[in-house]
């Protein structure tokens, strides 16, 4: 019997309840080998995103996963955080024990560069779930890594759906547009999960109930995260459930057939005070510029939640 090799991934993240579910989905999936988790300032400051990433690995029983702290601020801008969505800790909802595992020694950017230079070229996928600061720093400090990255699969941006932190900009890109600009101009193959797709991944009552019905402490923690996190967007958008953004990245790696999308040119607005952080997606090909990203647009949301629920069940 021939075994399909596991995809090697590094998750770069700012947990965040939806980041936490994405990390759990990856750790539960035998198709993926998580080489490490790197943290970045975003939803909350770096000390908390690092603490939260450790907490999630411990919840998954995966103290073996190295977690490296990275950039504590964007390249050029002052850090903007989102406690109004994610709560004071970034992971508000259930009461979980403080992590006992320690951060790995060294900086996330060094870990990214060292890993990409050590592993076979074209064998490592980067999965950024927050602002792109660490990824941009790695590309800037060691330009040879660009050619060695298999693909960057990221959550960020918006097209027809607009923005969620300003009318024009999605949070991850808005926080560090200069980093995003560098990444989108790097020549690395990119898959982008913008708000257009993540806004279809709604945490309806029935979907949260199915996760709670797993009857495990992990399932209960996830259900409480989703219930905490969805309140803000339910009010904002006037609908049942909030968008579960970041797990779209991992789900695309596991089951790309759940998604539709197209190859487009994507440019990042870095300067305009009105639209800074906007992802200008040439969905209709009107510029004639070569595509630099595969942009996701459609989602089989029931299939997506069935996948998450089935994988979370594996934690027992
Ligand atoms: C993105 O911003 C964060 O609040 C979420 O974790 C997600 O990565 C959605 O705009
Ligand atoms: Ca995130």
Phi-psi domain of 209 (left: phi exceeds 0; alpha: psi -120 through 50; beta: other):
alpha
Rounded Cα–Cα distance for residues 98 and 103 (Å):
13
Atom of ligand 1 nearest to the CA of 19: 6
Mean pLDDT value of segment 259-279: 98
Rounded Cα gap, residues 120 and 138, in angstroms: 17
Per-residue model confidence (pLDDT) at position 53: 98
Instruction: Over range 126-155, report the average pLDDT.
Output: 98
The pLDDT of residue 98: 95
Determine the pLDDT at residue 230.
79
Query: Following CA atoms 132, 247, 277, 268 in sequence, which dihedral angle do they give, to the nearest 10 degrees?
Result: 70
Show Cβ contacts of residue 13 under 8 Å, excluding neighbours closer than 6 positions. Answer: 19, 22, 23, 37, 38, 39, 40, 49, 53, 128, 129, 130, 246
For 172-189, the pLDDT digits (tens) are 999 999 999 999 999 999
Task: Report pLDDT for 229.
Answer: 87
Residue nearest to atom 10 of ligand 1 (CA): 171
pLDDT band at 131 (very low <50, low <70, confident <90, very high): very high
32 pLDDT more than 70: yes
- Residue 241's SS3 state is coil
Task: Identify the active-site residue in 86, 178, 199, 245.
Answer: 245
| Residue 1 confidence (pLDDT) above 70 | no
pLDDT at 307 over 90: yes
Cβ < 6 A, ligand 1 pocket: 16, 18-19, 43, 82, 85, 129-130, 155, 164, 170-172, 245-246
Fold of the CATH domain 7-315: Inosine-uridine Nucleoside N-ribohydrolase; Chain A (3.90.245)
Q: What is the pLDDT of residue 237?
A: 82
Give the model's pLDDT for residue 236. Answer: 80
- A 10 A CB-CB count for 285 gives 12
CA of 277 to the centre of ligand 1 (A): 14
Tell me which of 19, 245, 247, 277 to substitute to probe ligand 1's pocket, judged by most ligand atoms within 8 Å of the beta carbon. 245
Identify whether 107 is a catalytic site residue: no
pLDDT above 80: residue 120: yes
Looking at the whole model, is its pTM more than 0.85? yes
Distance 102 CA to ligand 2 centre (A): 21
- Given a cut of 80, is residue 313 above it in pLDDT? yes
- Residue 98 CB: number of other CB atoms within 10 A? 8
Taking the CB of residue 73, how many other CB atoms lie within 10 A of it?
16
Instruction: With a cut of 80, say whether residue 65 has pLDDT above it.
Output: yes
Integer Cα distance of 47 and 51 in angstroms: 6
**297 band by pLDDT with thresholds 50, 70 and 90:** very high
Dump pLDDT digits (tens) for 206-265. Answer: 999 999 999 999 999 999 999 998 777 788 888 888 999 999 999 999 999 999 999 999
Rounded to the nearest angstrom, the distance between the alpha carbon of 232 and the centre of ligand 2 is 15
Q: E-assigned strands of 156-200?
A: 190-193
Question: Where are the domains positioned within the chain?
Answer: 7-315
Residue 52 in this model has a pLDDT that exceeds 80: yes
């Amino acid at each position: 019997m021939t075994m399909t090799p596991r995809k090697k991934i590094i998750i770069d993240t700012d947990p965040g309840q939806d980041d936490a579910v994405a990390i759990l989905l990856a750790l539960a999936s035998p198709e993926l080998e998580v080489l490490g988790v790197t943290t970045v300032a975003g939803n909350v400051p770096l000390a908390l995103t690092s603490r939260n990433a450790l907490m999630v690995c411990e919840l998954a029983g995966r103290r073996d996963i190295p977690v490296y702290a990275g950039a504590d601020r964007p390249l050029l801008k002052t850090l903007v955080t989102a406690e109004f969505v994610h709560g004071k800790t970034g992971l508000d909802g259930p009461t979980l024990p403080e992590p006992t595992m320690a951060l790995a020694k060294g900086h996330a950017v060094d870990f990214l560069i060292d890993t990409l230079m050590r592993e076979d070229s074209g064998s490592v996928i980067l999965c950024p779930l927050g602002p792109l600061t660490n990824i941009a720093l790695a590309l800037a400090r060691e330009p040879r890594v660009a050619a060695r990255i298999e693909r960057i699969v990221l959550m960020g941006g918006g097209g027809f759906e607009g923005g969620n932190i300003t009318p024009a900009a999605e949070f991850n890109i808005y926080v560090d547009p200069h980093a995003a600009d560098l990444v989108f101009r790097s020549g690395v193959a990119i898959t982008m999960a913008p708000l257009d797709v993540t806004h279809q991944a709604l945490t309806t009552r029935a979907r949260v109930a199915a996760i709670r019905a797993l009857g495990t402490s992990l399932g209960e923690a996830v259900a409480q995260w989703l219930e905490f996190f969805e309140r803000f967007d339910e009010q904002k958008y006037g609908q049942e459930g909030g968008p579960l953004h970041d797990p779209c990245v991992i789900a695309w790696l596991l089951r790309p057939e759940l998604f539709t999308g197209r190859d487009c040119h994507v440019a990042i607005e870095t300067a305009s005070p009105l639209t800074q952080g906007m992802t200008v997606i040439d969905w209709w090909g009107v510029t004639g510029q070569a595509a630099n990203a595969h942009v996701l647009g459609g989602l089989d949301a029931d299939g997506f939640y069935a996948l998450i629920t089935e994988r979370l069940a594996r934690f027992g």
